[in-house]
């Protein structure tokens, strides 16, 4: 199937920020999903250059507007490359070969159909929105979005008869219920159109920066009328009719909620006027805020997506934005939450699983896993359920649900490893076949998760598939590859931590705060260890960012003090009494790391060892190792104990071993 999708084209008066990048990342996930389905996918992006703000910015910098736009194109392309955005075409509204003829042809078609007439416009114009603002929409005389005073403009303009399309638009929405998604936007647009439509001023007089109207070369086309046509221009309209016929209409326009009106009302009316087919769907996504605030130059809080991608690579950012923000709704970005999710989803969950499966396959089978005679019904079932849920969610553009479905398979696989205890099977020569199957099944489930995550984390997915011994280059990978396979031997590759865990040293009290210099040194050396695949321990990295927490003088501790204690869930794998000790039990616990930890716990008077096996407990995971009775205890198990009373273990709901407790 042919699938043509687009994003909004960006104003180039400033560099891309996390909000504009969010849109491109989500569109890229959808494009990659369609390629995974085998669709003949064409993904279009571009830059919107004929805005007055762009013109002003160029002049401020002493540059010719076009030269400025050429430079900005490079900045945008660099950002999109840094985020692994796989667009197939990139159009600029200053493109004279493709965009100019398309805009002029479409304006002419609307004129020829009697939908453009001459008149005079008078009103408030917000340059930030590039839109005339009705008096009633102003707040204390200011644009509610840009908080600036609009210009009062009175000029001879050409008008597009938008009002004529009120009824045809309402009929079109009725006949195509999924044209506007999500539902909240559809309702907004329906209410707006039902309220009546004013004709639209579609030209600006006396300006040079823009595309001249074919029927009045002294006027240029209004920037929005110009910009919307980019989608048809890239497809060939006005310069290659053959190409246009084979590519138009677009299946999906992805745009922010602030500009759905342009795409769901003005654009379809323009197409109706020019007698062209309408696109399949407009999806109006929500906004990403930074710490709850709109990102803006004036607030100085624009997050550069490349900074976020540099922190851990593009994939963790892509995953964060698509998994944590329900697609269609608004979301928030904070560095703290980003790091927290990185640790939870990638370092502790997926990364740890890939590591464990690879290191155990290497240790017990030199990486060579033969095709087993059977499969785990539980795990194969979990994989099938995940694939079904993932596909249904992707088809509805519920990207967050699709990512969550893939992660449910990852959690199920972690659970499978914890339950089947390959390390215990390895001790028993009679269980060699069972060990082989457990390792193969776990590797197969990880491979399937890798296929599902490919649109979200393309580079990481390729690496996961390589490690699981089934490397397939992305163009060949298909959704059908997510079916369970047990028919071929695999050579698993153990290559160290994929996502080293971040230990946030920012939570240290003032006196212990490391200097930036020492923090950076730690990061460099530990990152290198991670890259080398430092043994079995999950390597940790110190973030080179320091925050201080004021100590309190009333004996209370701050949240930062508390967060120094790393509490994690763990699962008891084995328990035995310590010889010559009434109080101590020796526990082997799974904390979600490649190798179980040994902990000596003073609970022997309260618990029988056998009753503990399989139980979830909470441990202090960052306690300095303590030599005790000839062993080294690597943590402490939490228990409640009244003075002289027996110990009662803290009993969490079953959670993936290694989950942070806070």
Strands 180-181 and 203-205 come out as unpaired
Q: Does 504 bind ligand MSP (CB under 6 A)?
A: no
Q: Which stretch binds ligand MSP (CB under 6 A): 134-142, 226-234, 411-419, 478-486?
A: 226-234
Among 29, 228, 386, 445, binds ligand MSP (CB under 6 A): 228
- Least Å from the CB of residue 273 to ligand MSP: 17
Both tokens of 121, joined, read 């416009």
180-210 burial, b at 16+ Cβ within 10 Å, e below that, comes to bbbeebbebbbeebeeebebbbbbbeebebb
Please answer whether residues 572 and 611 qualify as being in contact, where contact means their C-beta atoms are separated by less than 8 angstroms.
no
3-state secondary structure of 27: helix
- Least Å from the CB of residue 302 to ligand MSP: 9
Q: Which of 266, 253, 331 is nearest to 292 (CA)?
A: 331
Q: By rule CB under 6 A, what count of residues binds ligand MSP?
A: 19
Both tokens of 172, joined, read 């079109």
Among 5, 9, 399, 570, binds ligand MSP (CB under 6 A): 9
Q: Does 288 bind ligand MSP (CB under 6 A)?
A: yes
Total residue length of the chain? 662
Q: Which stretch binds ligand MSP (CB under 6 A): 65-73, 102-110, 223-231, 418-426?
A: 223-231
Task: Give the Å distances, CA to CA, from 514 to 1, 371, 380, 523, 584.
Answer: 56, 51, 48, 12, 37
Which of 20, 273 has the CB closer to ligand MSP?
Answer: 20
Q: Which of 181, 224, 221 is nearest to 396 (CA)?
A: 181
Q: Does 132 bind ligand MSP (CB under 6 A)?
A: no
Please report, as residue ranges, which positions from 35 to 54 form the binding site for ligand MSP (by CB under 6 A): 48
Query: Distance between CA atoms of 248 and 277, rounded to whole angstroms?
Result: 8
- Least Å from the CB of residue 570 to ligand MSP: 39
Q: Which stretch binds ligand MSP (CB under 6 A): 8-16, 69-77, 339-347, 358-366?
A: 8-16
The residues that bridge with 131 in the sheet, in sequence order, are 126
- Least Å from the CB of residue 6 to ligand MSP: 8
Q: Which of 355, 155, 180 is nearest to 268 (CA)?
A: 180
Which of 19, 469 has the CB closer to ligand MSP?
Answer: 19
Q: Which stretch binds ligand MSP (CB under 6 A): 155-163, 222-230, 451-459, 493-501?
A: 222-230
- Least Å from the CB of residue 519 to ligand MSP: 30
Please report, as residue ranges, which positions from 15 to 34 form the binding site for ligand MSP (by CB under 6 A): 19-20, 22-23
Q: Does 256 bind ligand MSP (CB under 6 A)?
A: yes
Both tokens of 288, joined, read 């990403």
Query: Distance between CA atoms of 402 and 346, rounded to whole angstroms?
Result: 16
Q: Which stretch binds ligand MSP (CB under 6 A): 5-13, 205-213, 240-248, 649-657?
A: 5-13
Which of 19, 635 has the CB closer to ligand MSP?
Answer: 19
Q: Does 585 bind ligand MSP (CB under 6 A)?
A: no
Can you give the three-state secondary structure of 64-122, one letter per residue?
A: CHHHHHHHHHHHHHHHHHHCCCCCCEEEECCCCCCHHHHHHHHHHHHHHCCCEEEEEEE
Both tokens of 197, joined, read 């439509």
- Least Å from the CB of residue 235 to ligand MSP: 14
The residues that bridge with 3 in the sheet, in sequence order, are 41
Among 189, 259, 442, 619, binds ligand MSP (CB under 6 A): 259
Both tokens of 552, joined, read 């309190």
- Least Å from the CB of residue 17 to ligand MSP: 7
Q: Is 484 left (phi over 0), alpha (psi -120 to 50) or beta?
A: beta
Among 78, 122, 198, 258, binds ligand MSP (CB under 6 A): 258
Residue 249 DSSP class: S
Which of 99, 597 has the CB closer to ligand MSP?
Answer: 99
Which residue of this chain has its Cβ atom nearest to ligand MSP in the complex? 256
Q: Which of 304, 310, 465, 445 is nearest to 379 (CA)?
A: 445
- Least Å from the CB of residue 74 to ligand MSP: 17
Where helices occur in 313-431 by DSSP H, the ranges are 314-324, 335-341, 352-365, 377-395, 399-420, 422-425
Where helices occur in 274-325 by DSSP H, the ranges are 305-312, 314-324
Q: Which stretch binds ligand MSP (CB under 6 A): 36-44, 95-103, 256-264, 313-321?
A: 256-264
Site string for ligand MSP, 289-328 (x = CB under 6 A): ------x---------------------------------
Site string for ligand MSP, 47-86 (x = CB under 6 A): -x--------------------------------------
Which of 13, 343 has the CB closer to ligand MSP?
Answer: 13
Please answer whether residues 601 and 636 qualify as being in contact, where contact means their C-beta atoms are separated by less than 8 angstroms.
yes
Among 37, 287, 311, 560, binds ligand MSP (CB under 6 A): 287
Among 44, 169, 189, 255, binds ligand MSP (CB under 6 A): 255
Strands 151-160 and 368-369 come out as unpaired
Among 27, 197, 202, 227, binds ligand MSP (CB under 6 A): 227
- Least Å from the CB of residue 296 to ligand MSP: 9
Name 356's Cβ contacts closer than 8 Å, sequence gap at least 6: 417, 594
Binding site for ligand MSP (CB under 6 A): 8-11, 19-20, 22-23, 48, 227-228, 230, 255-256, 258-259, 287-288, 295
């Amino acid at each position: 199937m042919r699938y043509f999708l687009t994003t909004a084209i960006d104003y180039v008066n400033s560099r891309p920020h996390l909000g504009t990048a969010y849109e491109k990342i989500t569109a890229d996930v959808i494009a990659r999903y369609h390629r995974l389905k085998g669709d003949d996918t064409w993904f279009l992006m571009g830059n919107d250059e004929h805005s007055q703000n762009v013109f002003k910015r160029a002049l401020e910098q002493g540059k010719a507007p076009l030269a400025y736009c050429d430079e900005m194109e490079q900045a945008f392309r660099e950002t999109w490359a840094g985020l692994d955005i796989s667009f197939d075409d990139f159009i600029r509204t200053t493109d004279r070969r493709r965009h100019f003829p398309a805009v002029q042809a479409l304006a002419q078609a609307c004129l020829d159909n009697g939908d453009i007439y001459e008149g005079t416009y008078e009103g408030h114009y917000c340059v930030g929105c590039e839109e005339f603002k009705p008096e009633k929409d102003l707040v204390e005389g200011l644009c509610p979005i840009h908080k600036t005073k609009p210009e009062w403009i009175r000029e001879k303009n050409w008008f597009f008869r938008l009002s004529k399309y009120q009824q045809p638009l309402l009929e079109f929405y009725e006949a195509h219920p999924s044209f506007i998604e999500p539902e909240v936007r559809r309702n907004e647009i329906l209410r707006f159109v039902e309220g009546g439509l004013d004709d639209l001023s579609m030209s600006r007089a006396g300006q040079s920066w823009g595309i001249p109207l074919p029927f009045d070369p002294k006027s240029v086309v209004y920037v929005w009328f110009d910009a919307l046509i980019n989608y048809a221009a890239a497809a060939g309209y006005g310069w290659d009719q053959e190409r246009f016929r084979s590519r138009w209409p677009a299946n999906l326009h992805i745009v922010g909620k602030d500009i759905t009106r342009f795409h769901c009302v003005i654009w379809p009316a323009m197409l109706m006027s020019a007698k062209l087919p309408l696109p399949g769907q407009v999806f109006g996504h929500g906004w990403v805020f930074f710490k709850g605030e709109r990102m803006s130059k004036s607030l100085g809080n624009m997050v550069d997506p490349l900074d976020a991608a540099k922190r851990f690579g593009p994939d963790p950012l892509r995953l964060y934005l698509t998994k944590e923000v329900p697609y269609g709704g608004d979301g928030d970005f904070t560095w703290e939450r980003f790091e927290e999710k990185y640790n939870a989803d990638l370092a502790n969950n997926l990364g740890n699983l890939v590591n464990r499966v690879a290191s155990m396959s290497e240790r017990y089978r030199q990486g060579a896993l033969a095709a087993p005679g059977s499969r785990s019904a539980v795990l194969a079932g979990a994989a099938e359920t995940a694939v079904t849920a993932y596909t249904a969610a992707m088809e509805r553009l519920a990207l967050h649900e699709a990512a969550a479905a893939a992660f449910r398979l990852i959690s199920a696989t972690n659970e499978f490893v914890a339950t089947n205890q390959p390390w215990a099977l390895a001790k028993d020569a009679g269980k060699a076949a069972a060990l082989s199957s457990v390792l193969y099944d776990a590797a197969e489930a990880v491979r399937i998760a890798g296929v599902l995550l490919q649109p979200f984390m393309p580079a990481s997915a390729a690496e996961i598939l390589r490690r699981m011994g089934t490397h397939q280059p992305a163009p060949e990978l298909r959704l059908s590859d997510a079916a369970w396979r047990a028919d071929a031997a695999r050579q698993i590759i153990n290559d160290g931590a994929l996502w080293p865990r971040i230990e946030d040293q920012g939570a240290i009290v003032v006196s212990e705060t490391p200097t930036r210099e020492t923090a950076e040194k730690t990061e460099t050396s530990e990152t290198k260890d991670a890259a080398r695949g430092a043994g079995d321990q999950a390597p940790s990295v110190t973030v080179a960012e320091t925050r201080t927490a004021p100590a309190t003088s009333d004996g209370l501790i701050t949240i930062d003090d508390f967060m120094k204690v790393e509490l994690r869930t763990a699962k008891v794998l084995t328990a035995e009494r310590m010889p010559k000790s009434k109080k101590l039990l020796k526990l082997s616990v799974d904390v979600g790391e490649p190798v179980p930890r040994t902990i000596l716990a003073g609970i022997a008077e309260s618990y029988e060892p056998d009753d503990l096996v399989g139980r979830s407990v909470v441990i202090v995971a960052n306690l300095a190792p303590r030599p005790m009775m000839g062993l080294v205890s690597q943590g402490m198990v939490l228990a409640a104990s009244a003075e002289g009373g027996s110990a009662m273990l803290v009993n969490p709901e079953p959670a993936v071993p290694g989950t942070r407790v806070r």
